[in-house]
Amino acid sequence: MSGATDWLSRAAGPLHGEVRVPGDKSVSHRALMFGALAEGVSRIHGFLEGEDTRATAAVLQRLGVRIDTPSAGERIVHGVGLHGLRASSEPLDCGNAGTGMRLLAGLLAGQAFDSTLVGDASLSKRPMRRVTEPLAAMGARIETTQGGLPPLVVRGGQRLHGIRYELPVASAQVKSALLLAGLYAAGETEVIEPYPTRDYTERMLAAFGWPIAFEPGRAKLSGGHALRATDVDVPADFSSAAFFLVAASIVPGSELRLPAVGLNPRRTGLLEALRLMGADIRIENPRESGGEPVGDLVVRHAPLHGVELPEALVPDMIDEFPALFIAAAVARGRTVVRGAAELRVKESDRIASMAAGLRALGARIEETPDGAIIDGGTLSGGAVQTHMDHRIAMSFSVAGLVATAPVRIHDCGHVATSFPGYLQLANACGFALESLV
């Protein structure tokens, strides 16, 4: 990865055309994992060719799973069954992916062999006790550093038993890690969330034939069944579409069409937030694909105004705050975000990263422990840091579209973790984004 790549984003637009954003990251990770544990051959269409999801594929290959790549965006996973994985003699490198590491921790807790999970500098700073503690309550043995950080050493050969666990924070990753361990556990594993989070694990387990009961905020399964291979159609990633939704909303004269975007209600909080701010976003051709709601998004420029963001929207837009902060910084009036302390433990501390970057561009933003108060206005040019965070980089490329002078964004290499080809797609619809290698 070329972490040292800087970008320069200049004022441009209007934005026009059709933007086909890549496959959903959350769905791609899970499709690989369930395909690997299934009996039979699963085909994944629309797989995200990002560094995060490729890292998960490479981990599973190290564990003895054959994964073919017939063409870009396609994977054929030759499942080995629930007990068919083999020990890796090398550490398993999850790259930048919190989802990869946390879900694999649950999956590996039930194996007969030891594994070590490692990650890059950003992932190595992310809290892992949120998964290791409840997994330990299920009988797993997982070692972390003193501070509860990676690497994770997962000891195999443990007898797992189901638990009923009330999550202290809303987290699909923690929920999914426990459900994955639950496949190997004796008895019932039940997970209860303070707010409902994305339910891809639950939906996909059902699609792979595992009996599971779930409703928003709650999921329950028992061990001892089998996964049957199935094909997975991955929708376009709403979180990748988010940058274009904000960009077209704030650049006068713009109209973009984003086809076949995943619209799972646990992901589309930004749509509601932007509409509350006055955005003009329509859903066309709503349909189902691979058991997930999808639709074509049509977004037109509209004057935005600040809002007090309803806290209930936070989990449904947890990855979209960097993009929202840009919208808020150029909207008329004040935007207040509360109840979003989780942003501090994402790929970077996203409240701090966005506040520092926006201030460097002359915005008025006050950090709070669990959010921010942003007074909209005009952005100037300047230089911003990404803190190795893909979404910070893409968000400031959007800011550059409406800034009064160019915005230099340091260290944009991590964009490839979730959105390969972003720069080209952005420029094709009217951005003026340049890579300064």
Cβ 302 to ligand S3P, closest distance in Å? 27
The number of residues that bind ligand S3P (CB under 6 A) is 10
Least CB distance to ligand S3P at residue 408 (A): 26
For ligand S3P, which stretch binds (CB under 6 A), given 35-43, 61-69, 167-175, 290-298? 167-175
**For ligand S3P, which residue of 319, 320, 389, 411 counts as binding (CB under 6 A)?**
319
Name the packing angle between helices 129-137 and 172-182 (round to 10°): 30
Q: How far is the CB of 187 from ligand S3P (least distance, A)?
A: 24
Binder of ligand S3P out of 5, 9, 176, 348 (CB under 6 A): 176
Candidate segments 14-22, 82-90, 170-178, 393-401, binder of ligand S3P by CB under 6 A: 170-178
User: Does 171 engage in binding with ligand S3P (CB under 6 A)?
Assistant: yes
Residue 61 half-sphere exposure toward CB, CA atoms < 13 A: 14
Catalytic residue check, 316: no
Nearer to ligand S3P, 108 or 407 (CB): 108
Determine, following the binding rule CB under 6 A, whether residue 42 of this chain makes contact with ligand S3P: no
Do residues 330 and 378 make contact, with C-beta atoms less than 8 angstroms apart?
yes
Q: Does 96 bind ligand S3P (CB under 6 A)?
A: no
CB contact set of 85 (below 8 Å; sequence gap of 6+): 36, 37, 63, 64, 65, 111, 113
Residue number with CB closer to ligand S3P (106 or 400) = 106
Q: How far is the CB of 58 from ligand S3P (least distance, A)?
A: 18
- Residue number with CB closer to ligand S3P (133 or 342): 342
Determine the residue with CB nearest ligand S3P.
Answer: 26
* 173 vs 254, beta carbon nearer ligand S3P: 173
- The yes or no reply on residue 395 touching ligand S3P (CB under 6 A) is no
Residue 279: exposure state from Cβ atoms within 10 A (0-12, 13-18, ≥19): buried
> According to the binding rule CB under 6 A, does residue 397 interact with ligand S3P?
no
| Stretch of 54-62, 65-73, 107-115, 168-176 contacting ligand S3P, by CB under 6 A | 168-176
The amino acid occupying position 370 is D
Nearer to ligand S3P, 127 or 362 (CB): 127
Residue of the chain from 5, 173, 240, 397 that contacts ligand S3P (CB under 6 A): 173
The reply to whether 111 sits near ligand S3P by the rule CB under 6 A is no
263 binds ligand S3P (CB under 6 A): no
**Given 52, 93, 120, 319, which residue is catalytic?**
319
Binding string, residues 191-230; x marks residues near ligand S3P by CB under 6 A: -------x--------------------------------
Note whether 172 binds ligand S3P by CB under 6 A.
Answer: yes
3-state secondary structure the chain: CCCCCEEEEECCCCCEEECCCCECHHHHHHHHHHHHHCEEEEEEECCCCCHHHHHHHHHHHHCCCEEECCCCCEEEEEEECCCCCCCCCCCEECCCCHHHHHHHHHHHHCCCCCEEEECCCCHHHCCCHHHHHHHHHCCCEEECCCCCCCCEEEECCCCCECCEEECCCCCHHHHHHHHHHHCCCECEEEEECCCCCCCHHHHHHHHCCCCEEEECCEEEEECCCCCECCCEECCECHHHHHHHHHHHHHCCCCEEEEEEEECCCCCCHHHHHHHHCCCEEEEEEEEEECCEEEEEEEEECCCCECCECCHHHHHHHCCCHHHHHHHHHHCECEEEECCCHHHHHCCCCHHHHHHHHHHHCCCEEEEECCEEEEECCCCCCEEEECCCCHHHHHHHHHHHHHCCCCEEEECCHHHHHCCCCHHHHHHHCCCEEEEEC
Tell the smallest beta-carbon distance from residue 23 to ligand S3P (Å). 13
Instruction: Kindly tell me which of 122 and 176 has the beta carbon lying closer to ligand S3P.
Output: 176
The answer to whether 26 contacts ligand S3P (rule: CB under 6 A) is: yes
* Selected range binding ligand S3P among 166-174, 217-225, 284-292, 405-413, rule: CB under 6 A: 166-174
Which of 33, 307, 318, 384 binds ligand S3P (CB under 6 A)? It is: 318
- In terms of Cα–Cα distance, which of 399, 431, 17, 28 is closest to 237? 28
Q: Which residues are near ligand S3P by CB under 6 A?
A: 26, 99, 171-173, 176, 198, 318-319, 342
Return the active site residues: 319
